[in-house]
Structure 1
Amino acid sequence: MEVFYSLKDRVAIVTGAARGIGAAIAERFLGAGARVVFADRDDAEARKAAHNLDAPGERSLVVPVDITRLNETQAMVKQVTDKFGTIDILINNAGIAGPNKPLVDVSEEEWDVVTAINLKGVFLCCKAVLPVMLKKRYGRIVNVASIAGKEGNPNLAPYSATKAGVICLTKALAKEVCTQGIYVNCITPAVIDTPILRQVTQQQIDYMTSRIPMGRVGKPEEVAALIHFLASDDCSFTTGACIDISGGRATY
């Protein structure tokens, strides 16, 4: 019997895998047969998550990484290929909400920090992983953007701008590599119940939730389910797509 969305023996890097959406993705991928790299700057939490999901450590690898530095993303790739031999899937999930304030009050340093993690980090992870995928002419890359990147959220200008950048980076890269067996897509979640939600005010959460017709926030497992398809061989004619998971907030 054919198994749909199988990830058997695929090697997947998940950034921001220590908690939230990243941990849910890692759990889903391990359940689908993948070997999973828990890539996170929080080494202790990443190791805890990996141990909880794969105690023997036979199908997981924890890599502490600062995704804003090319030498660290390249070192991550070497560690992964040294252990597993290849890389099939890259999930660029790591990100921060950044400052909750009007743009006029955002400092240059605050802007740079959000840009470095949310946008430059995606670029550097792709840049480091792509040579492996191009050589084997196979790869699945999924970038986690946000509905804020399509609509813009007030008092979250740096976050909104960087997520818009992730959407366009996805589309540009997808067109560059689609004839080489590598498909690149992004998802745009609305409010999801994760630790990053604690970085914004309750007023901001209420504002975002009020715009969701389903009347609730999303669950990390729901996001992981969508990413699972995009990371699988069953995703064979979809690339450069920006797919909403927003409880009906976005219908375009």
Structure 2
Amino acid sequence: MSRLQLNQLTIKKLRFTNQIAVIFGAGRGIGKAIATRLSSEGAKLVIIDILNEEIEQLKQQILKSGGAVEAHTLDVSDEKNCNECIQKIYTAHKKIDILINTVGIVGPSNCSIENYDLEDFIHVINVNLVGAFIISKAVIPIMKERNYGRILHIASIAGKEGNPGMVGYSASKAALIGMVKGLGKELAETNITVNGVAPGLISSEMNSETDPKMLAYMVNKIPMKRPGTVDEVAALCLWIVSQEASFNTGAIFDISGGRATY
């Protein structure tokens, strides 16, 4: 390996050194993959999830590998607890460089609107959309103090195209995409970027709860004829929240095996 290649690897390894990265939904799936990669590239992590056992396991895994991490368990749709948590992080670290939100629930799938309960619809909206609003609102003033920040929300291809039988999920992710675009423009002159990623079908614990008929429908829509992996999504996400990604905001990055190219 040449000296140039070694230098490039070193730069990549250190690109998040001393940055504070807060990751909601880090307990499993895409969030866990992002957290693991960020830690390996020098970030100091604050990992948050409603799943206490999973988040503690990830914390121990990162500590064992020599990373710096703290963990919190809370519901992203609980405004009071989220605000208190963000304030504790700020008090301890004096800054937040990166906010990544990977929280998401599918809700009912392969379910006609006639059979879709309002309670289920509201729950999906609260977790997938209201939670994203709460944590964005809490962290933006902190980022404005230093005139720097990277905010990333995981949306879905369902928010761009809609999935039949998943009205709550599709609606919540479409609204999240709108929020990302609006915030990106609102903060465009602050050196705080706000972007989203819209994955297609990804092999993860989240989709293990999806109706098999719906999964088959989604695979059939993918030109590559396979689901993506959480590591493929994480690789894209790390670039988006890096200092290198300085001229994109309000953007939705597709990672869908060719299903969406717009």
The bucket for the TM-score relative to the shorter chain is over 0.9
1:181 to 183, 191, 200: 191
Question: 1:14-64, CA deviations, whole angstroms, 9 ceiling, x for partnerless residues?
Answer: 111011101000001001110111110112210111111223886101011
Deviation at 1:10, TM superposition (A): 0.7
Q: Following the alignment from structure 2 to structure 1, what is the Cα–Cα distance between the partners of residues 198 and 100?
A: 14
Alignment of 1:113-152 (within 5 A): 113-152=123-162
Deviation at 1:9, TM superposition (A): 1.1
Alignment of 1:131-210 (within 5 A): 131-210=141-220
Q: Following the alignment from structure 1 to structure 2, what is the Cα–Cα distance between the partners of residues 182 and 172?
A: 13
Q: Which amino acid aligns with 2:125?
A: T
Q: Following the alignment from structure 1 to structure 2, what is the Cα–Cα distance between the partners of residues 171 and 204?
A: 28
Which residue of the partner structure matches residue 3 of structure 2?
none
Bigger drift between 69-78 and 48-57 goes to 48-57
Deviation at 1:92, TM superposition (A): 1.0
Deviation at 1:80, TM superposition (A): 1.4
Which residue of the partner structure matches residue 98 of structure 1?
107
1:24 to 11, 29, 33: 33
Work out whether residues 51 and 57 of structure 1, in 8 Å CA contact, stay in contact via their aligned partners in 2. Answer: no
Unpaired runs of at least 5, structure 1: none
Asked whether 1:70 is paired with 2:79, we answer: yes
Q: Which amino acid aligns with 1:231?
A: V
SS of the counterpart of 1:6? coil
Unpaired runs of at least 5, structure 2: 1-6
Question: 1:183-240, CA deviations, whole angstroms, 9 ceiling, x for partnerless residues?
Answer: 0000100000111101211111010001111111010011000000010000010111
SS of the counterpart of 1:178? coil
Question: 1:86-122, CA deviations, whole angstroms, 9 ceiling, x for partnerless residues?
Answer: 1100111101000111112111100110000000000
Question: How many correspondences in the alignment?
Answer: 252
Q: Which amino acid aligns with 2:126?
A: A
Work out whether residues 38 and 60 of structure 1, in 8 Å CA contact, stay in contact via their aligned partners in 2. Answer: yes
Q: Following the alignment from structure 1 to structure 2, what is the Cα–Cα distance between the partners of residues 221 and 47?
A: 21
Alignment of 1:213-232 (within 5 A): 213-232=223-242
Using the aligned pairs only, state the percent identity: 38
Question: 1:151-176, CA deviations, whole angstroms, 9 ceiling, x for partnerless residues?
Answer: 00010010000000110000000111
2:245 to 215, 235, 238: 235
SS of the counterpart of 2:153? strand
Runs of 4+ in 1 over 4 A off after TM superposition: none
Q: Following the alignment from structure 1 to structure 2, what is the Cα–Cα distance between the partners of residues 248 and 46?
A: 32
Which residue of the partner structure matches residue 112 of structure 1?
122
Work out whether residues 42 and 67 of structure 2, in 8 Å CA contact, stay in contact via their aligned partners in 1. Answer: no
Q: Following the alignment from structure 1 to structure 2, what is the Cα–Cα distance between the partners of residues 207 and 58?
A: 40
TM-score normalised according to structure 2 size: 0.93
Alignment of 1:14-53 (within 5 A): 14-53=23-62
Q: Which has the larger radius of gyration?
A: 2
Q: Which amino acid aligns with 1:114?
A: V
SS of the counterpart of 2:76? coil
Bigger drift between 204-213 and 100-109 goes to 100-109
Work out whether residues 41 and 65 of structure 1, in 8 Å CA contact, stay in contact via their aligned partners in 2. Answer: yes
Deviation at 1:79, TM superposition (A): 2.3
Q: Following the alignment from structure 2 to structure 1, what is the Cα–Cα distance between the partners of residues 200 and 158?
A: 8
SS of the counterpart of 1:95? coil
Work out whether residues 105 and 206 of structure 2, in 8 Å CA contact, stay in contact via their aligned partners in 1. Answer: yes
- Structural RMSD (CA): 1.4
Asked whether 1:249 is paired with 2:256, we answer: no
